[in-house]
Structure formats: structure tokens, C-alpha cells
Structure 1
Amino acid sequence: MLKKFIIAVLLFTTLKGYAQDYKQFPMWNANLPFEQRVEDLVSRLTLEEKVQQMMHHAPAIPRLGIPAYDWWNEVLHGVARTTYRTTVYPQAIAMAATWDTASLKLMAVQSALEGRAIFNAAIEDGKEGERYHGLTYWTPNINIFRDPRWGRGQETYGEDPFLTAMLGKVFTQGLQGNHPKYLLAAACAKHFAVHSGPEPIRHSFNAEVSDFDLWDTYLPAFKELITKTNIAGVMCAYNALRKKPCCGNSELMVDILRRQWKFTGYVTSDCWGLDDFFKYHKTHKTAEDAAIDAVINSTDLECGQNVYIKLTEAVKAGRMSESQIDLSVKRLFMIRMKLGMFDPPSMVPFAQVPRSMLEHERHQAHALKMARQSLVLLKNDNNTLPLSKNIKKIAVLGPNADNRIAVLGNYNGIPSKITTVLDGIKEKLGPNVEVVYEQAIHFTTDTLFQMTENVANFRIDNKTGFKAEYFDNRELKGTPIVRYESIPDHFWQEGAEVVEGIKGNNFSARYTSYFTADRDGEIYFELEGDDGYRFYVDDKLVVDAWERNRWGARLYKLNLKKGTTYKLVLEFWQGGYQAKIRLTPGGKVKTNFKALAERIKDADAIVFVGGISPQLEGEEMPVNYPGFNGGDRTSIMLPAVQTELMKTLKTTGKPVVFVMMTGSAIAIPWEHENIPAIINAWYGGQAAGTAVADVLFGDYNPAGRLPVTFYKSDADLPHFEDYSMENRTYRYFKGTPLYPFGYGLSYTQFEYSNLEVPITVKAGTTIPVKVTVTNKGSRSGEEVAQLYIAYTDQKIKVPIRALRGFNRIELNAGESKTLHFHLNAEDLMVTGEDGKSLQPKGKLLISVGGGQPDVKIKTTSNVITKEIRIQ
């Protein structure tokens, strides 16, 4: 005891001395410039301490008072993966479909405020320095959605460089704030660069692109954010570009990013991406080689803990200079300084943001507004929509009708309330309208595995259900937290609270019960778990999926003898990302489409909610359903079983409305010809169901516009691994799409008139554009005016047309507004074969309307085009 007391006294004295000493250092003097303070801070670090600060989990340095910090955080469409409840806005691709920069900027401000509330709360709650509680967010994803098969395209703002740049810019401005000294939060443009799948080979993939495509398509959005918004960070991509891994690519990282664009912020690797240098790209022999090359080529931070740890030995061996390490560490601490982490809270205005900012009513209202704004009405024959609220019965069917996972997208937080389409319709119509719901099908099959057993047949410790034991480690070791549950069926976001004291990251669980058979026969247990699980019957291991089995379901058949009791044990572990464990006792049931149609034929309307889901498309996810591979899609066609069901539903003679959820373009040729009303609902966030119901029943007039091209079939697409933009996106696609980029209908009619542009202009000058928009219909509505340019007599390669302006406006019935656009010199330039910008002379077509020129839109009567000449 005496020895422990002496150690404690010495430790207290030492720490007290630290507290007395370090506060005198210039690094803690809030009156000095950040640059001087950072110089002082880094000069006091040992080499080993510097290297430790270059990994995403930076440990505390008590002798200098530097707290631990974890750089890894996400805010794609609301603060994600944290242990706190947050507002979940529509997925990024859905927010792009709003074509509303003001809405997106406000969303970013609100999300940053929630992030500040979490950061402040985490300090109070003793969670400082934990992942998903920091202020450095690895968003926005401004990669170009060049191919609809890419599962992560849902995280982007679509296929167009201009739209992506404008949306990425306002998001960054909103997130980082406008304080003259401090950042509200730190944004990070990713993934730099030329990154858009395929997911299964992203760690080894080499993208080959021409200089033209590089500068015409893949770099403009990055250039906009880096040179015009002072974005804090950049994340380099997993893939290689021209056979050099992006995080060690001197052309991208040094020549373009640092020298040409003068970027002074920090660069982080994608997570464990530096391992790819020697594991998959095979461009480097060792982790030390990879570490040296990444740092020399301007990657300051490793998301991971495996590679940069080698930097200490590299410096000691003379393979690189410590000054190179210093440069990266200074960039990192500069961001933390700008976030106010080294100043008294009283000086930092955002340090006072309270917990009450989480899920604030204003934020929830805006999430609903953006969900409404994102909805794209693709078809509405014979004014099928809006539906009458005076109906007596409505049938709501489909795999997404009541799917709470689908509406949240990916990289999402967890809100207190999620509204599915089924919920929204029930809330809209009230108790006097009969709402019939059946899932009917899975996304790709007409056979559902359904729970058929009575929960009462599962008992333990004189309680119904299962005994659940949760462990704060992956190995089922130590003293668990115990509770009693029904049949195990859980889905946790990474970092979410599993039980009190255990978060959804690096934990395990054991579920135990005794099942008593009430019959002779058989029972199936369907099991699904992420990352791994084992299933025992009477202490015999019958299903072993302990090695990562993400999203893979397995069946176990148990032969029953009436009155016999069977001991069931399900063990589960999770190491990161989402956590899921499910045990379903039951059997497979095939849906009889004709019988289903017969059951609902007396409904006044049928709403089928299908499409796909983030359960099928997303980041590097093994999925074994037809049409999907590794998070990507192998086909853009709507799964055939959904079309077959809608064919049967059509035979009822009742109006069928197809509500399609997706993060990417889906080919629906049969539906386009045969279903009278189609809404593209994306993954609409926490209020998705309310928004859909508002549009279905006319309480909101839809005005979303497609940020991607919806092609007719797979035959329209080049090879997925081909990164050339030839015949891709509206700018270069030579065919006829099913629904073009910029397309969307309304419940009212708009007309354009009085387009005014100068007849001739001198190269390098700004072109003013003026146009009048009139709501010719009988109800108010929103219109998205779009401005495109097209050079028509050039010998050099140019896009078919290119978006150069847009404006979402609201007009009352009969109201007109005059819009003003200004095309500056940069807007009028094109890219040469060498990647350099140039200003063509000659004919230029300027078009303004509710979509692209030469595209017929039933609710926008015209697109006006005028030819001018640039001299």
C-alpha cells in the first residue's frame, strides 16, 4: 500500500507540474497567431510523439496538455455513427435531386451544430478522443457518379461536374461556417481522385484516364472546393491512377493539389488504404516503403494504425527527414487549432452549443423539407396523382414499404423517429381509411423467410425469449451485461449503443434459450450476422460462420419431436462498421401473386414501394443476390420479380403507383410503359415516409430533378472498369435515355419566355442571361430552371452540352419571375486534349428551361435556346 501511495503522489506531483508548466508555452497562448502556436507545439514533440499524431487515433500527450483525438468522423447527410441520436437528412444523391443550394447549405450548418453538440457532450461524458465524436468530418464525397452500377454513387451529388461542384461548395461553406477565426467543423473532399468503383477490386484497381477526362470530368469539383472554399481536408482514394496509388501519387498529390492549387490543409488516407500499397497494388515492398512514399507525396494522416508506425524507424535510418514529418504534423495541428481545441471554451463560440441542438425541431423540419424536395415525379399519366384522401381502402406493398433501413441510406446516424412509407400513409389518412400492408416479396425473389414459431415456445430462467449476454470485446470474455429479449433480431450502426456501457464496435454477444417443440416435424432457423456467428443446438456446433460472414444468411434444419426441449445458443461478434444479428425460426413462404391481387382487388389504389436498398448497394459489401456484387450492381434493371408483381397488380384494374427507392439509376422500361404513376424516392432520410405521403396525396407538389441519367438498359453502358467518359452521362451519351439528367415532373405547368442574351460577346467576358418563368397551372409549385451551353462548330472534343447554371424557385399559380444568370469566363471554357482549359470561339448555344434542350417534359412546355457568337 505504501508503494502505491508513493507512486500516486509522484504521479500527482508530476501531472501538477505539467499543468503548471505547459500553460506557459506559446502553444497555449490564445492571443498569438495559430501559425506561431503550431510551430511551438511541434517543436516540443519527440519524433515518436509526432508519428503517433499522424494516425487517425492520436493519443494524448499529458506533459503538454494535448488531449487524445480521433480524426475519423462522418456527416454525409447528418452526423453519422455516433452514440448520440441525430437528425438524418436524405441521402446525398437525394439532396442533389433537390437542386437547391440554399437547402443543402442549411442542412450542413445544422449538421455541424449537432456535431458541435456531440463534441461538447462527449467531453462532459468522458468520451473525448473516441471515434465519431470529433469535429473533422470526411465529407463531402464529390466523386463523379460516372456509372450507375457503383454502389457508393448514392454518397455523391451525381454525374455532373458543375452540379457536384456547386453543391459541394455550399455544403463545405455551411459545415465549416463563416467565423473569422474558428471553424465550425472541418470538411474533407473525397476521394481524390478518379474513384467510382468497382467496389470488389477497389484496393488493387488502377484507373487509366486521358488528360482530357481527368480535367474535364474528374477534377473540376475538387478544384472548386480546394481553390474557392478553403476546405480543411482532402481524402485520397484507394485505387491507383496511372499505376501509382493515389495516396502516393506525385502527379495528384504534389503537382496538382499542393503546387497548382496551393492546398495548405491536411490530407488523410482512406481507411487502411496505405496497406494497399504493398498488399494489393504491389507497388511497394514493405509498410515502411509505403509510409515514406505517402508522406513525401503529401498524405499527412493515416486512417489506420499499421503503416505510419514505421515512420520512426525510417527517420532514424536516414530514409527520410524529420522535417518532412514536421510538415504533416503542423498541418494536422493547424486544423485542431482552427477548431478551437487549444483555446478556452469561453473564446470559442461553438464550444457552447448544447445537447438540445441534437434533433432540434428546426432540423427535423428541414429534414422533412429536403425529403419532399428530393422526390422526383417520373411519370403521372392521366393525373393519377395526387390520390384522393377520401378513399376507403388502399393497399401498400413491397420490400421498401416498411423498411426502416432503406430510408436511412448509408453513412447515416440514428434518429429517434423513422417514418416509412407505410407509416406516412397511415398518418396521412387516419383511422377511417383501411390500409392493407404486405411485404409480398424480397427485392429479388418471391419467396420470403417468415417467422412461424410462437415466441412462447422459447423460454429460459422462467422467462419468455432468450437470455442475452453482451461483452465489451470480440471474444465473449469477462463479465457480460445480461438482459432478456425476444427472438434475436438486431441491427446497430457502428458506434451506436448496444446496451448501456457497450457500443456497436468491437463487441460480442451470446443468446441462449430452450425451445420446446409443440409438434413432430421440422423447423428451419435462418441466421444472419455481421461480422461472425456460431449456432449450437444441444451444445453441438451446427452452423459456423465465425469468420466474417457479412450479410450472408444461412439456414439450419432441425427435425422435431413433440414435447422435446432443445437448447439453442447463438454466439456473435462484431469488429467494426454495422452490426447485425438475426435468428428467425420459421420457413420459406412463396407469395402467390394472383392470390395477393385477389385479396386487394377492392382497394381504391395500390402503392408498390420497391426498388433497391443500402442493404444491397454500398461500400464493399458481400451480397449474394442476383444482380448485385460486392456492393455494386451487375445490372441496372429493376429486379425481375418486382416487374412480375406489378404486372399482376395491374390486372386488378386499380391505379398502381410505383414508389421506387434507390441510390442510383434503375432501368424500368416496362414500368415506364405500363405503370401510370412513378415516383423516385431515393433513400429519403428519417422523414421519407411523410414526404412520400405528402406527394401521393397532393399536400406537396413535387419538383425534384434527376442528378443522374436513367438509362434504358445495361446495353447502354460501357464496361464498368472503363473510366473513359465516352458515351457516359448526359454530357457524352449518344443514345436516348429513359429519363434524362435534369428531368422531373410537377402537378402544375411552367412556361419560359423572353430569353435575353447578347448576340455577340468577346472571349473572356461575362455573359448576362435573363429569362422569365411563369406558372401556367392552377396550383403553386416549384420549378428548377436549368441553363446549358453547347458549342456546335468545334473541331476539338467538347461535351454534347454542359450545365452551367440552375435555380430552384417557387411560383404561385399564374405568377411569373425573371431569373438572372451570369456566365463568366471560366464557365465558357472547355478542356483541351492536354487537359488545359481553353476558350473556343464561334457558335455557342445557350438553353434555359425546366430540363435539357430537346427533351420533352409534360409539365414544362418549352426550353428556349438562342445562338450567340464568341469572338
Structure 2
Amino acid sequence: MSSSSLYAILLLLAFATLAGAKDPSTPLYNYKYVCDANRLKAGGLDIANLAYCDKTLSYFQRAKHLTDSLTLAEKAQLLGSLNKGAPRVGIPRYNWWSEALHGVSNVGDGSKFGKIVPGATSFPTPITTTSSFNESLWKAIGQAVSTEARAMNNLGVAGLTFWSPNINVVRDPRWGRTLETPGEDPYVVGRYAVNYVRGLQDVEGQETAKDPNSRPLKVAACCKHYAAYDVDKWTDKGNMLIDRFHFSANATEQDMVETFLRPFEMCVKDGDVSSVMCSYNNIWGIPTCADARLLRGTIRGDWNLHGYIVSDCDSIETIVQSQKFLDDTPYDGVAQALNAGLDMDCMYYYQKYLESAALQGLVKERDMDNALINDFVVLMRLGWFDGQPVYDSLNAKDICSKEHLDLATDAARQGIVLLKNNGNALPLSTDKHKNIAIVGPHAQATSVMIGNYAGVPCKYVSPIDGLKVYANVTTQMGCADVFCKNETFIFPAVRVVRNADATIIAVGLDLNVEAEGLDRLNLDLPGYQNMLIRQAAQASKGPVVLLIFSAGGVNVTEFHKSNDIDAIVWAGYPGEQGGAAIADVLYGKHNPGGKLPITWYPGDYVSQLPMTSMNLRPIDELGYPGRTYKFYNGSVIYPFGYGLSYAQFTYAVTSPQKMVSKKLAFNLHCVQLSFNNTAYVPPCHGARISDLACDQDDITIDVSVTNTGKVDGTETVILFSRPPQGIVGAPIKQVIGFQSVSVAAGKTEVVTFSLNSCKTLSIVTGSAYVALPTGQHTIVVGTGGNAIEFPFQVTLKK
């Protein structure tokens, strides 16, 4: 036999082994699905003897058959995120951990980039995308990401379970993971979650099902990190280190119901998400991943999750080794988690200790079975067992497609927020501003734009790349990096801007300043960035644009007031196409319509309260000013919902409805609320919404939006409600709806809001009831100078 023939035979044998011909535990990457008769036969198994492959049975029945056929050791192994499968019964190994926060990521090792798939579309980070306040955009991004994920799965380099999105509410502006989130309002965060999850999961035409546990999934999403998680690593004035592995988020039940749990409830109930991830932190001393009330009681019981609950990675080890909860041994730790309702352990603690815990009598094998059934049913809905033919044709051409890159560019455009525009300095003109200078640490931004959990992008378009489409561009960095510790770089930047027709100063933050595992100590721009801005602005002869990259707000009070700065633009972290989007906005190809999803506080905010204070409401005796636009009682640089346009818009409410009446059954009671001394106190303060008929929308509000400017534009109309005056602890106002509308110059468009009074006008009482107050509420349309408001009466009848 020739050496070449021998090599060919060896190569074929190697391929057969990789394809699983001899070992049914290998990944499915060379097969379409688990219940492939040929695959099972190659492993010595007969599909006719495997009831879990019987398609005439329900997913639950099949999952139970499979679970019942496993040994105790196999069950423990399969409850870990990176498992070896169960070759004896034909189950291949599977890595549950993939991420898709704003594009398919390589975090978790469930998805890989290389020769087969060099990269995937990296959309703007969620904080930037949320600034669009465009629900259809959020869903479209989810659909694009799941298409690329399915294509990568077909090519053998991705799983089907993606632990995204992050839907924690931004309670404090210092939090390092702000870039991953949809902002500070729980309703907006919840609506983002619902739309992005639906985009990831929904199979067209099968968005609902009589039995949700049978509804097919495109990919499986995961809403995280449950719950009250928003401290990563923070130092209290340099003296005390607080981190997520040891922090106990001692939030009131009022704040839990009103803020920290609400987005997760919306994600489960309205988004029908297939997974929820519990967080590292404790709540009142109990680790969330070992809290049966939060997991088995709330997620599984109250909200009826159709899917599985997974730990944040190494959470059980953290409970045992770092938090030393109840001085648990590893066997106690896995028992606590399983008994609380945790179905899947990210990492290895279940795999290492759960079998012994069961043999010691610390857990019931039945609870292991129930967890496995929850996991297997999700994999069945994904087609992991039977295939999903509708997606079989997806391949490399569906990754980094022009359609997806265009969507990424449009998402970045829609998310950019215009914060200042004195004298209509923007947009720039290709006639007047042919030679421009861009200076600053982010002038040539690439990887900065995609933030974290980003994988490998298709290609970058930096700010310089984007601006070169419109003008001749010169540049100097001005700072060696984002920390900007060496002022000697400033003078070359100043020299460059002196003769430019316009100057763009690109500054801000990056993952070295705000990131997972890293909270900020202050709100200032790092190092000498302020000096660079001042000197470059003073030397410039043309308009000066301050371009900011960040997730959290930064203290730009000086530059908002400065006559040397003509415009301020916040780009967030705009994704791989960010440079093109920025240039399109600066030169007027796109009229900015983004609104801030977080409050930008003045710099002294951080000195008024520690990051570890969980209370959202002001505490006057401690001098705490409160948190988020709903409760903060101090001054701001830019409020939540703020954003300018090159057009000007006015609002008018054209709907006649100004009241709603609800009926309270004779045997039910009014709820008691607390009022301050100056308030009018109605005879019936309000009613619990659980005591009212709340199943239908009963409020219609029509808002006409007129563009009084000279250019077409898109305006986001944000609707707020303000509770009756005098209710102690009630929010200042709260978002109840939002819509974006395109309005041509000189034209008027009407936006209609159909609302449910129980959901939109209710408050959470101090004792954590959700109640609808009687009396005069106020509806507020918009923010800033063009906002209008009108009274809206709520009455209760018996």
C-alpha cells in the first residue's frame, strides 16, 4: 500500500471519529440532530428502542423517558453547562454557554471564530441601542443575531443556547456593566428584554402555542442577572472593597417589586424567555442562586417560566468558597441550589458533587429529574433532538451579510444622542467643512466601539474612516490612551485643529474604566482629557464638536456651558459600524433622534451616597438624593429621555379621554396609602390591582407631533404618568409608553397609545402591594421644553 493511500485511509478514519461514527457522545456538528438514526446506529444504538426519539410523544414525555433511562452519575454530569453527554443512551456532549448580547460572542466557548466563521456582526451595545427607543429595531437586531447564530450552528461552530440579554436596571451611574444594559427605567428595560428575546427565539408563524413548552425556538435566550445585581467591584473612598461575590443587596420589597424584578417578570411573561440566570450577589444575606423564594417560588411558580434556571458561572462555588453561606460544604452547596430550583449549573459544581449529595440524602433524585426535564425540553424545542429544517439552509452567506451590516449602521445612527447644538453648528456641510480635524483618544476607535461580549466583528469602520467619506481628515491622538496621563500629546493635537474647518474631539471611557468587574469611582473624564478639550476648543477656528464614547454618563457640565464647545454628541459604544453612523449624523445624512436611557448626573452625585446604598428613594436624614429619574431630587446635566434633533417638534394631545373608572367588588377593600400632611386624602385611597378587572386596555391617548423645523426628522414620544400629589414614596413620574415617529418638515403625525390603567397608573406601596391610586393623576408627554401635561382622573366604584 502506498504512503499516499495509507494517509487517505487514516484521514477518513479521523474524519469518521470526529463525525461521531464510533462515539455518539461527540458534538452534533457533523450531524443534523441527536435522533439521527444513522448516528445512533453508528454508536450501536437502535432508534426504535429510544423513546426519547419518538415524535408521537410530547416533549415532556420524551424528556421524562430520557431522564428515567439515565444513571444517577449521568444525571449529575448532564446538569453541568459543559457536559460529556451520556454516550450509553446516545446523548452527545453539549456546551450550554454561548453569549449573544449584541451579536454572537466567543465568550463561554460555546461559539468559536476562526477559518470557518471569521467573525459575526457586532451591533451597538444595548445601552446605545436602547437610546433609539425603537422596539421594532430591538427585535430586528435579535432576529439578525439569531440568524447568524443558527448559521454558525449549522457550520459546527456555535451552540443553540445563548445567555443573553442582560436586563439589570442601572441603579447607580458608577456601575461598570451599564454598557450591557438597557438603562435605568424598569419598564423600558422590560420592553427591550421582550423584543430582543422575541427576536432571538421566535420562529416565524409559531410565536404562540397552546402549550408554550412545545413552542419551537430559533435559539434559546436567557434573561440575566436575577436579581438586584448592579455592583461589580467598587472601592469606598479607597478604604473598603466591595465586589459582586460578597455584596448583599439589601433592597426593600417595594424596590424589588417595583424596579429589580419587573424587567424579569416582563421577560418571562411577555417575552416567554426560555431561561433565567441567577446572579452572584446575596439579597438580605441569601445567595440568589440558593433562594427558593426567588427561584422556585417567583420565577417557576408565580411567573410560570417555560424553560430552565441557570446559575451565573461559578456561582455555587462562590456560595461555598467565598460567601461561606451557612458554612456549607460543596455537597451542601449543590443541595441548596438544586432544592431552590436551579436547573443548570454553569461550570462544574453539580457535576462534581451532586451525585454524592444525592447518595447522602441531601437532595431528592426526583428534583434532579425535574431539572433535567426542564433542560431537555428546551433542547427539544430548539430542534437539537429532531432538527429545525426551516433553518437548515442558513450558512456563511448569512453571517456578516450586507443586510446585517446595514442594520448595525442604522442601529448606531438611531442610538446616537445629540446633547448640545448651539447656533445649529451641526450638521456640518460638505461645502463649508471640507478639511476637518479629529483629535482625542477615540479618534481612531475600533475595538472600543464594540464593548464587551462582542466576539469578532466582521469589519470596523472607525470615526476617521467614516469622516473620510465626507471630508479631508487630519488627526492627532491628543492622549496616548483613554487614561490620558501624559499631557505632552496635547500640543500636537492643538496644532492640528488650528487650520481645520471644523474640529471633532473624540473622548470618553472604555473597558479599562467601566466594565464587568470594574465600577467607576467618579463621573469625570479620565486624566488630562478635560485639558485636551479646553485647549483644542480654544484653538479651533471652526465649529467644535465634543464626541463622547461611554456607557454611563460623564461630567461634562463645564463643556455644556462653554461657548468654545458648539455641539456635544454621545455615541455610546456604537458597534463595528459606529464610525459610519457618527459621520452620517455629523454631516446630516441622518437626523439624530436618540434619547438618553439614563440620567447624566453632576460630578458631585457620587459624593452624596455610596454605591452600596440600595434605596432608590431619597433619605433626607442621610442627605441621599435618591436614584434614577423616578426618585432623584437634585439637579442634572441631562435628564433621562433627553435628546436633540436638527428639526424642532411640538406636541398636542388630541384624544378626549381624561378619566377612567374602575369597579371594586362589594366584598373587597380599598387599599391604605400614606399621604403627607398637605395632601388631599380621598375617602378611598386606591385598590390593589389584583382586586380589579385589569385584562383590557382602557385608556387611549392620541398625541399629534408637528415638525416645525426645516428638515425631516424622527421624534421619540415618551409618555410618563405622575401619581396624585401627596402619596408618600410615590415616584416623581414613570414611563408608561414610548413610540418613535418620522415626521417630514412642516408636517404633523399622530401617535396613538393604547394603555392598561392598572399597569400604567399603578404604584407599588411601601408594603409591596401593586395598587391603583384614586384621584388626579398627570400624564406627561415628552421631556424638556416641548413637554406637555394634562390631568387624568381615576375613580373607583363599588
What TM-score, normalized by structure 2, do the two folds share? 0.84
Does the CA-based 8 Å contact 1:753-1:864 persist in structure 2?
Answer: no
- How many Å separate the matches in 2 of 1:434 and 1:729? 40
Task: Tell me the SS of whatever aligns to 2:343.
Answer: coil
| 1:507-556 deviation per Cα after TM superposition (whole angstroms, max 9, x unaligned) | xxxxxxxxxxxxxxxxxxxxxxxxxxxxxxxxxxxxxxxxxxxxxxxxxx
Contact kept, 8 Å, 1:22 with 1:65, in 2: the verdict is no
1:167 equivalent in structure 2: 192
Q: Does 1:379 align with 2:420?
A: yes
Change (3 A) 1:599 1:773: closer
Superposition deviation, residue 256 in structure 1: 1.5
Q: 1:367 aligns with which of 387, 408, 411?
A: 408
Partner of 1:722: 613
CA contact 1:401–1:439 (8 Å) conserved in 2? no
> Of 423, 428, 438, which aligns to 1:396?
438
**Structure 1 residue 760 and structure 2 residue 659: aligned?**
yes
Decide which of 727, 752, 756 is 1:820's aligned counterpart. Answer: 752
How far is 1:228 from its partner?
2.2
1:804 maps to what in 2? 736
Residues 775 and 816, structure 1, Cα contact 8 Å, conserved in 2: yes
2:88 to 60, 63, 70: 63
- Alpha-carbon offset, residue 778 of structure 1: 0.9
Deviation larger for 236-245 or 78-87: 78-87
TM-aligned CA deviation for residue 12 of structure 1: 6.0
Deviation at 1:600, TM superposition (A): 3.0
TM superposition shift of 1:281: 1.3
1:231 paired with 2:245, answer no
Q: Distance in 2 between matches of 1:660 and 1:227?
A: 37
Q: Secondary structure at the match of 1:172?
A: helix
Inter-CA distance 317–424: structure 2 relative to 1 (3 Å threshold): same
2-structure distance, mates of 1:840, 1:739: 30
Indicate which of 772, 781, 788 corresponds to 2:720: 788
Aligned to 1:47: 72
Residue 633 of structure 1: how far off its partner (Å): 0.4
- CA deviations on 1:610-636 (whole Å, 9 max, x unpaired) are 11012322112xxxxxxxxxx110001
What is residue 615 of structure 1 aligned with on the other side?
512
1:289 maps onto 2:179 in alignment? no
**Secondary structure, aligned partner of 2:738:** strand
- Secondary structure at 1:843 match in 2: strand
CA distance in 2, matches of 1:329, 1:713: 50
Judge conservation of contact 2:338–2:363 (CA < 8 Å) in 1: no
- SS of the residue 2:635 aligns to: coil
Report if the CA contact (8 A) 2:22-2:43 is conserved: no
**What are the within-5 Å matches in structure 2 for residues 248-647 of structure 1?**
248-283=290-325, 284-343=327-386, 345=387, 348-390=389-431, 391-429=433-471, 433-447=472-486, 590-591=487-488, 593-594=490-491, 596-620=493-517, 631-647=518-534
Distance 1:264 1:753 in 2: 43
Distance 2:480 2:512 in 1: 15
Give yes or no for the alignment of 1:192 onto 2:89: no
CA–CA distance in structure 1, aligned partners of residues 657 and 188 of structure 2: 25
Give SS of 1:772's match: strand
- Secondary structure of the 1:142 match is coil
Question: For the residues of structure 2 that align with 1:706 and 1:23, how far apart are their CA atoms?
Answer: 58
1:676 corresponds to:
566
Q: Deviations over 1:635-664 (max 9, x none)?
A: 012225111111111221422211000011
Quote the residue 2:592 is aligned against. 702
Residues 13 and 386 of structure 1: is their aligned pair in 2 closer, same or farther, counting only changes over 3 Å?
closer
Identify the residue that residue 176 of structure 2 maps to in structure 1: 151
Deviations 1:694-744 (A, max 9, x none): 111111100000000001113365210111112100000001211000000
Amino acid at match of 1:26: A
* 1:606 alignment partner AA: T
Q: Which residue of 1 aligns with 2:667?
A: none
What is the CA-CA distance between 1:325 and the residue it aligns to?
0.7
Q: Does structure 1 residue 88 correspond to structure 2 residue 122? A: yes
- Kindly tell me: are residues 192 and 364 of structure 1, through their superposed partners in 2, closer, same or farther at Cα, counting changes over 3 Å? same
**Deviation of residue 814 (structure 1)?**
1.4
2:216 match: 182
Q: Measured at CA, do residues 607 and 17 of structure 1 come closer, stay the same or move farther in structure 2, by a change above 3 Å? A: closer
For the residues of structure 1 that align with 2:546 and 2:321, how far apart are their CA atoms? 46
Out of 60, 72, 87, which is 1:35 matched to?
60
Alignment counterpart, residue 24 of structure 1, candidates 20, 24, 49: 49
Letter of the 1:810 counterpart = S
Q: 2:102 maps to which residue?
A: 77
Q: Deviations over 1:285-327 (max 9, x none)?
A: 2111110000000111111113542011111122221111101
CA distances 1:793-831 after superposition (whole Å, capped 9, x unpaired): 243421000000100111111121111112202222111
- The corresponding residue for 1:868 is 793
- Is the contact made by 1:202 and 1:239 (CA closer than 8 Å) also made in structure 2? yes
Quote the residue 1:514 is aligned against. Answer: none
State the one-letter code of the partner of 1:812: A
- What per-residue deviation string (whole Å, max 9, x for no partner) do you get for residues 337-392 of structure 1? 1100111x4x5322332221111111111000000000000000011111121334
Q: Does structure 1 retain, via aligned residues, the 8 Å contact 2:550–2:573? A: yes
**Distance in 1 of aligned mates of 2:57 and 2:300:** 26
CA apart distance, 1:68: 1.3
How many Å separate the matches in 2 of 1:42 and 1:695?
Answer: 56
Q: CA deviation at 1:596?
A: 3.8
Q: 1:314 to 1:694 in 2, by over 3 A?
A: same
Gaps of 5+ in 1: 1-7, 128-132, 448-589, 621-630
Partner of 2:539, secondary structure, is coil
Provide Cα deviations, 1:644-691, integer angstroms capped at 9, x if missing partner.
111111221422211000011111111111121000000100110000
The CA deviation at 1:395 is: 1.1
The answer (yes or no) to whether the contact 1:730–1:740 under 8 Å persists in 2 is yes
Residues 139 and 12 (structure 1), Cα distance of their counterparts in 2 relative to 1, 3 Å cut: closer
Q: 1:496 corresponds to which residue?
A: none
Query: May I ask how many residue pairs the two structures share in their alignment?
Result: 689
1:687 is matched with 577
Q: 1:409 to 1:293 in 2, by over 3 A?
A: same
- The question of whether the paired residues in 2 share the 8 Å contact of 1:755 and 1:864 is answered with no
CA distance in 2, matches of 1:19, 1:47: 22
Structure 1 residues 765-774 or 718-727, which shifts more?
A: 765-774
> 1 or 2, which has the higher strand percentage?
1
Asked whether the 8 Å contact 1:22–1:63 carries over to 2, the reply is no
TM-score normalized by the length of structure 1: 0.77
**Farther off after superposition, 800-809 or 665-674:** 665-674
Aligned AA for 2:296?
V
Contact 2:443 2:475 in 1 (8 A): no
CA distance in 2, matches of 1:337, 1:363: 28
CA–CA distance in structure 1, aligned partners of residues 403 and 439 of structure 2 = 32
Amino acid at match of 1:94: T
- State the secondary structure of the residue aligned to 2:177: helix
- Match of 2:140, as an amino acid? L
Task: Tell me by how many angstroms 1:862 deviates.
Answer: 4.2
Give the counterpart of 1:211 among 253, 258, 266: 253
Following superposition, the deviation at residue 13 of structure 1 comes to: 11
> Residue 846 of structure 1: CA displacement?
0.6
Shift in Å at residue 268 of structure 1?
Answer: 0.7
Task: Tell me how far apart the structure 1 counterparts of residues 708 and 56 of structure 2 sit (CA, whole Å).
Answer: 60
Matched position secondary structure for 2:353:
helix
Residue of structure 2 aligned with 1:112, choices 138, 143, 146: 146
Q: Residue type matched to 2:409 in 1?
A: L
**What is the CA distance between 1:261 and its match in structure 2?**
1.6
- Measure the CA separation in 1 of the matches of 2:269 and 2:159: 25
